[in-house]
Each structure stands twice: as C-alpha cells, then as structure tokens.
A and B are shown apart, each in its own frame.
Chain A
C-alpha cells in the first residue's frame, strides 16, 4: 500500500478534530447533519463498483449502493441547508 495514503489519513484525523473544536452547541445539530452529508461521498464508491460490475448480482447490489449513497449525499446536503436557512439574520 502507498504510505502517502496513510499519511493523508493520519493528518485528516487531526484536521477533523481541529476544525470543530470551537463549535457552539447550538450548531451541533446542523454540524452532525452536514458531516452526515459529507460521508455520502460513498456514492463515489457505489458508482465505481457498479461501473465495473460483471454479474447480475453485482449489478443489483451496486444499484442499491448507488441509490443509498445518492439519497445520503443529496438528502443530507438539502436537509442541512433547510435547517441553516433558518439561522439567517432577522430584521
């Protein structure tokens, strides 16, 4: 395995902790929802395995994976946006 990838992995752990360390509790729900949308990137994985699928079983399971991933990523970003638009400045 490429050790550069491990390097990226370790750095990402610390970046993830660092960027949210000062989040006020009122933003916990939108933040959870927003990060939930970001792991919808699994859609990429679904697309890659479905593109390579050779058997009907693989196509069926890959299809389900893409539906799931797509719902996760699109629904996640949309629901977060809906939540956050309520925080806009009033008056």
Chain B
C-alpha cells in the first residue's frame, strides 16, 4: 500500500468517526449520515488487495464484471427497500439490511477459509503448505463465520417477528440447555479447526459449524417476544459490526477493522441504553422469554374499578377548554396512520390557545426514537416533543392527557404491581393528570400481553374506535365548539 493510500485511509477512518458523532445530535444527524457515506465511497476507490495493490488497477477480468453486476443488483434491492418501506416498518428494514450484512460477512470469511483449507495434494503427494493457516488468520475467519451466520439467521427471524409472524415467544423445557449444548459443539469445532485448518476434514467440520451457527441464530431469537425485537436487532447489529472487523483482520483491511469495530462497540452501548430505558438487564431480554401466557394472567389480578367509555363530543369540549394538553402517542397511532390527524387536532387546539405537548416514551413505537421519526414525518414541530423524564414531574398540572394507541408505556402496574412483568419499567405518568382519555380500538392487551391498570382508574375515560376516525371526529367537534 502506498503512503498516499495510507494517508487517505486515515481520512476515511476520521469520516466514519465524525459521521457517527454527527449522527448522535439532532442538528447534524443528516450530515453525519452523508459524511459516513462519503467515507465509504472514498474507501471503495482506494480499496487495496492483501498485497497492497489497488484492487481496481488489475486488468479487467470476468470476476470484475461479476462485481459490477452484483453491486448494481444490491444497489437496486437496497434502493427499492429503502424508498418503499413505510416509516412504521422501519425496524424490520433495519433488521433485514443487518441480516444481509451478517450473511455477507459469513460468506467472505467462509470463502477465505475454504480457499486456504483446500487439501494441498497432487497425485497423492502432499505439498508443503504455502498459504496462510496461522491462528492469527484462522481465528478471525472462524469468528466472522460464526457471528455473521448467527446475525444473518437471527435478523431474519427478528424481521419475521416484527412482521407479525410467530411474534409470541416460542419456548420448551430445557431450551436454554439445548442452546448451550449447541453453543459448546460450535466452540469445540471452532477450537479444533483453529489447529487443523487444512484438508478435507477441515472443510466438512467448517460446514457443520457454519450450519450450527445458522441454527443457533434461529434458536436464540425464537424464544424472545416481539416487543423485545429492537434490543435484539441492536445487539445483532453490533454483532455484524464485530464480524466485519474480524473479516478485516483476516484479509488485512484496516478500513473494515475500524468501521466494524466502531459499529460493534457503539452498537453494544446502544443495546445497553435501550435495555436501561426498559429497565431490564440484557440477560433478561435474551433468556427471559418475556410475555409468556403465565405472566399475563398474573398482571390481571390487581385490577380494580370499571371501564368508563366516553363520547367524542364530550372529549372535544374537555380539550377545547383545557389549558394544557399532553398527547401520549404509541405504535397503535402509527398503525392507524393517524399521525396527520393528531397534528391537525393539536394545531386546532393551538389556535385556541391550548398548550399542547407530546410525551415521548424512550421505547414508544417499535424502537427507541421510532416515535420521533413517525411524528416528524407528520410535520409535528420538533419542540413539542418532550421526553419522558422532562414531562413526568409536571403531569399533575395537565388538564387532559390523550393516550393514542399507547399501552404498556402508560401502565401504572409498572409502578404499583410487584407481580407484573413490567414492574420497574419507567412509564409516562398519564394517570397523574386531571382527566386521561385513552383512545383504543378494543380492550385487547398491549404488545407485552399485560392488562393495563390505567383503563380502570377513576379519572380515565375510554374513547373506543379507530384512532384516525376518532381523531377526525374530534377535529370537527373542536372546530365547531
């Protein structure tokens, strides 16, 4: 590698770091993404082989034609996915892209490994091994294959779960023990391969190991409930980063090591931050089989009071003559495509001098920050979105709290009921306001499958029906009053 290339490579690393840095502040986030993309483009142009020569400077061959075709196919798939996905389905899309990255990492590692493991024998005579089989090469290859395969299959399952296929946790007795045994077999095979990286047996063992890793990804994610998928995707995202870094070690590419490691470490921190927002240790998410039928019934035991329905006209009056209104949006609002109607209602109230704010729970929606994206899409002004910690202390001075399609994040059981599976999770104190209006399609339980105590409180009224239709009715009624 020439020294010019090395210098440019440092610039690429800086672009990645600045990109992530900018991504973590609202003002610069969009530039951050573009900065990282620019880094990627520069890195691609100066891409070097293991021997240090530029990969584009070799003579053109059939393989390069394949590279161009494959890149264009990937570009088209990526563009169609990125621009056709609905904002509500964003977490699935991230899971899918992550799975593809993991799959690519595993394939790259596998190809390198199998190429070097090829039996070096001509007409029965063993030739001296001239290629790389040292542990420093083999271990990163094996790691990238294992983690990449696991990330690939795990992400596909996470995608399917978020799409609503088998979103309930699937568990059976001895599951963790079986998973542990598979894990041990994988580690055993990897250990053996580290010292026996050549020959036909190595290739067989390698294929078995990769297959088990694929199965392990499925077995790991299947028992986890759909509500915990964001944490799983974030974790698998950091896994893929580490697999890419390991690939970088084996094929001696510094840009891949830097980018993969940055994603691996920031992704791990992000996973922990998400778990903290839900007040659950990460081990509980991965091995706890949350939301199974037993715990749902336990949550229903402490319910007292009755459900009190209310009509739209009455809600409109309450809202129109309130001083301060807080909206608590949930995923249900987004599913009903009601963001725009919410914005209309809040604008109408604003004209009448009502102070309107949105209370955003850190895990509202399907991923942390998902709700902000959904509301931003509907042109809700940025400064009306208030995070949970900031708004909770003043909730008792709120006249009307409008809960739209949110459920678990306003369930007082998290504060009151020690037997509830969500006990200890921070919630928005919707029950502290003067009147709480819950807009809901029916009395079905939320994503976590737990009965909501809020619905039975004395100051709570239920406005049943489709969120969008109800909101449009409210807008008309507020205008008329």
Interface residues of A (CB under 8 A from B): 1-2, 5, 8-9, 12-17, 19-54, 58-59, 61-91
Contacts and interface: CB of A to CB of B under 8 A. Distances in A.
Contacts of B372: 26-27, 29, 87
29 contacts: A1-B136, A5-B257, A12-B262, A13-B264, A19-B262, A20-B266, A26-B372, A28-B367, A29-B369, A35-B270, A36-B97, A38-B40, A38-B263, A41-B40, A41-B244, A42-B240, A44-B255, A48-B47, A51-B58, A61-B110, A63-B66, A65-B108, A66-B74, A69-B101, A72-B101, A72-B104, A78-B78, A78-B83, A80-B33
A37 B273 contact: no
A75 B111 contact: no
Given A14-B265, A61-B107, 7 more contacts: A8-B254, A15-B262, A39-B259, A42-B240, A49-B111, A52-B115, A71-B74
Interface string B296-319: 000000000000000000000000
Contacts of B382: 87, 89-90
Contacts of B103: 64-65, 68
Contact of A59 (B30, B63, B370): B63
A16 B24 contact: no
B294 to A, nearest CB: 31
B419 interface: no
Contacts of A63: 66, 69-70
A16 B381 CA distance: 31
B32 A45 contact: no
B287 interface: no
B154 to A, nearest CB: 14
A42 to B, nearest CB: 4
Interface in B212-261: 233-234, 237, 240-241, 243-245, 247-249, 251-261
Contacts of B277: 25
A43 B78 CA distance: 13
B175 interface: no
B111 A71 contact: no
Contacts of B269: 16-17, 20-21
In this complex, the interface size class of chain B, counting residues with CB under 8 Å from chain A, is: 35 or more
Contacts of A39: 98, 101, 105, 237, 240-241, 244, 259-260, 263
Contact of A35 (B47, B49, B241, B369): B241
Contact of A32 (B50, B64, B267): B267
B79 interface: yes
A31 B23 contact: yes
A51 B83 contact: no
B469 interface: no
B244 A91 contact: no
A34 B49 contact: no
B93 interface: yes
Contacts of A83: 87, 90, 373
A75 B104 contact: no
Contacts of B23: 20, 23, 27, 30-31, 34-35
Nearest to B250: A45
B274 interface: yes
A1 B111 CA distance: 20
Contacts of B72: 70
B271 to A, nearest CB: 9
Nearest to B139: A1
Given A26-B372, A41-B40, A71-B77, A51 B64 contact: yes
B265 A31 contact: no
A69 B109 CA distance: 13
Contact of A45 (B240, B253, B381): B253
A29 B373 contact: yes
Nearest to A23: B24
B404 to A, nearest CB: 18
7 closest cross-chain pairs (CB), A and B: A70-B74, A75-B78, A16-B265, A28-B368, A66-B70, A78-B82, A12-B261
Which of B72, B74, B253 is most buried by chain A, counting CB atoms within 10 A of its CB? B74
B42 to A, nearest CB: 12
B264 A25 contact: no
Contacts of A12: 245, 257-258, 261-262, 265
Nearest to A25: B362
Which of B87, B248, B262 is most buried by chain A, counting CB atoms within 10 A of its CB? B262
A37 B270 CA distance: 15
Nearest to A49: B111
B443 interface: no
A48 B251 contact: yes
A41 to B, nearest CB: 4
B336 interface: no
Contacts of A72: 74, 78, 97-98, 100-101, 104
A91 B73 contact: no
